[in-house]
Chains A and B, each alone.
Chain A
Amino acid sequence: MADATADRPSAVLSIHRRPWFWAWVASAVAFVATLMLTEGRGGGDLLSAALTFASFSAIVGIGQMFVITLGPGNVDLSIPATMTLAGTLSLKFMDGATGLILPGLAVALGVGLGAGVTNYLLIRVLRIPPIIATLSASFLYQSLAIWSNRGLRIKPPAALSDFTTGATLGVPNLALVGLGIALAAWLLLERSTFGRWISAFGQNERAARLSGVPVEFVRAVTFIGAAALAGLTGYLLASFSGGAALNMGQEYLLISIAVVVIGGCSIAGGYSNVPGIWGGALFMFLIVSMLNSYGLGAGVRLIVTGAIIIAIVAAASGKEST
């Protein structure tokens, strides 16, 4: 291996050692394998669908990534309920009125911030472990969503619906939003002091505290930020799919954690990367599309998906590259 690559430029030499590399490879393979069925037709459609749907997973995944970076036991299980509550309340608030699109966004973000603050207070004031705190809080948020609207679907304003399903210069608008958030998250994680604090917190909380990292501030901002991103995703997803539904966030609990793991972030915290989140999000969509296109049954699909995820995680953790 080392001999074969010795004469290549060093950037190429090291790219396969990046933790996010394998998620992107797997996405590309799934993409090509799907197109082999159609002899190359529909590539643009598939790519555009993948970018659109992956952006939802990527946005909640980025929030979850920051939480998981905080170290063992830190995970936000309230993401689906926060999405549902934010989507429900913001669409009910807008009630189809174009003039209320931005205030509606503020409602969704406000719900996210409120959920984040609640989560953090449960963890800090009541000293409940984050898994239990966010799980029990999620029942509260889900109940509020049920209570506020009893599952009725209210249509989003037409302009908002057009924006979320539309594209600019051929790139889906949602993907632009998702990529913008990813860029901001990358700058925050890799180029800011706050990013160093989060990583330091996850690598060793005690050492971080003793070296002057404001650990409680870091934890608060991380949980609140993750919930705000979940609120934003709920707003976008509800607008995209023609209304909020009580079960709309359900599959994003597993996906938000899966993209973090597939993306090569350490599940034990302390070491994360943003490109992997997008790689994982694209993979989660493309693998299902590929297996559906090949007409495999649900059981086989789940087995293959599980096996591939294990392979990616094993490859990304570097056990194979010596």
Chain B
Amino acid sequence: MKRNIKLFGAAALVTAALPAVAPAQTGDARIALSNNYAGNSWRQAMLESWEKAGTQAVEEGVVAAADAFTTSENQATEQAAQIQNMILQGYDAIVVNAASPTALNGAIAEACDAGITVVSFDGIVTEPCAWRIAVDFKEMGRQQVEYLASRLPDGGNLLEIRGLAGVFVDDEIHAGIQQGVEEYPQFEIVGSVHGDWAQDVAQKAVAGVLPSLPEIDGVVTQGGDGYGAAQAIDAAGRDMPIIVMGNRQDEMQWWAEQRDANGYETLSLSIAPGVSTLALWVAQQILAGNEVPKDLTVPFLVVTQDTLDEALAATPEGSVANVEYSLEDAQAVIEDAKAAE
């Protein structure tokens, strides 16, 4: 009998159809989301995904609570205080999108000492006791050049739109793009501007640098900046280069319009804001006593010419293409990480 129950439990853990049965032992667990910033559409979608998955998980009795908290000022000190409050409130796990990879380490270590499971994602922390669900931003940059090489075998001139100067993510994607250009030396980066991941800033920066640039064949971006670049290039009356997009609805909308008008083709890739739900399930898996490697990698959400209409239809106007991850997705990511170890 006892053995049967164990077998049943093990089977349920890997059975896709029965997510509510497996984690019965986490039914009392309370999970908190510590979020450092909410001021753009990506973060808004991230919070919505969390709310959706969290509410469902609570209703199904998988966890007792999945509360989201966002700091107002995007400051590490403020977030550290927020995490300390969560420790006092007795959460079993804290899922954190961190304002800084290092500045929260003290608060994170306190949480670990109090026996709390800490899972960081997107904005990860370096404190060894925490789990990290990281994005391979470098690969994200490299793949853009790889795609352009498949479209333009003879290479050409690239315009690079970077993010916010001095931020880790910007350096990583930039390094990936440089690596891509080394792999495909037929490409040359002839101009580089900072678009701060915002359409209007990118539009302004590109409009300012275009007059001094030769013909552009491709634009590599970091997400949230492709539509602004397209508008600036269009306003200057130049031929439209291949602009790699970042899954924003306005970017995909523009892409679909161009495709219908003149057969425009490109690629779009980014991280789905629903990565917050992946982190939620990973935290739940750890609480359920499963062995989970400390370093996990988030899959990219890629939109191609073939999936454009589908992605566009599923994305609310003005938002960003999204998927919510399920318990099974989380288990697959964990298995991948175990296999890589």
* Residues in chain A within 8 A of chain B (CB atoms): 34-35, 37-38, 41-43, 45-46, 49-50, 52-53, 139, 142, 146, 149-155, 165, 237, 240-243, 245-248, 250-251, 285-286, 288-289, 292-293, 295, 298-299, 302
Contact = CB atoms under 8 A, between A and B. Distances in A.
Nearest to B73: A139
A241 B211 contact: no
B316 interface: yes
Interface residues of B, number: 42
| A contacts with B: majority SS | helix
21 contacts: A49-B210, A49-B235, A53-B208, A150-B44, A152-B41, A152-B319, A153-B41, A153-B317, A155-B250, A241-B199, A241-B228, A242-B199, A247-B198, A248-B198, A248-B200, A289-B209, A292-B192, A293-B191, A293-B208, A295-B192, A299-B165
By Cβ-Cβ distance, the 3 closest A-B pairs, closest first, are A42-B211, A153-B318, A289-B208
Contacts of A45: 210-211, 236
Contacts of B201: 251
B191 A292 contact: yes
Interface string B286-320: 00000000000000000000000000000011110
**Which of B191, B208, B319 is packed against the most chain A CB atoms within 10 Å?**
B208
Nearest to B237: A45
Interface of B: 38-41, 43-45, 48, 72, 162, 165-166, 191-194, 196, 198-201, 203-205, 207-213, 227-228, 231, 235-236, 249-250, 316-319
A246 B318 CA distance: 11
A247 B319 CA distance: 14
| B contacts with A: majority SS | helix
A259 to B, nearest CB: 15
B194 A298 contact: yes
A139 B70 CA distance: 13
A130 B169 CA distance: 36
A165 B40 contact: no
A245 B41 contact: yes
A15 B48 CA distance: 57
A41 B211 contact: yes
Contacts of A49: 207-208, 210-211, 235-236
A247 B44 contact: no
Given A241-B199, A285-B204, A34 B318 contact: no
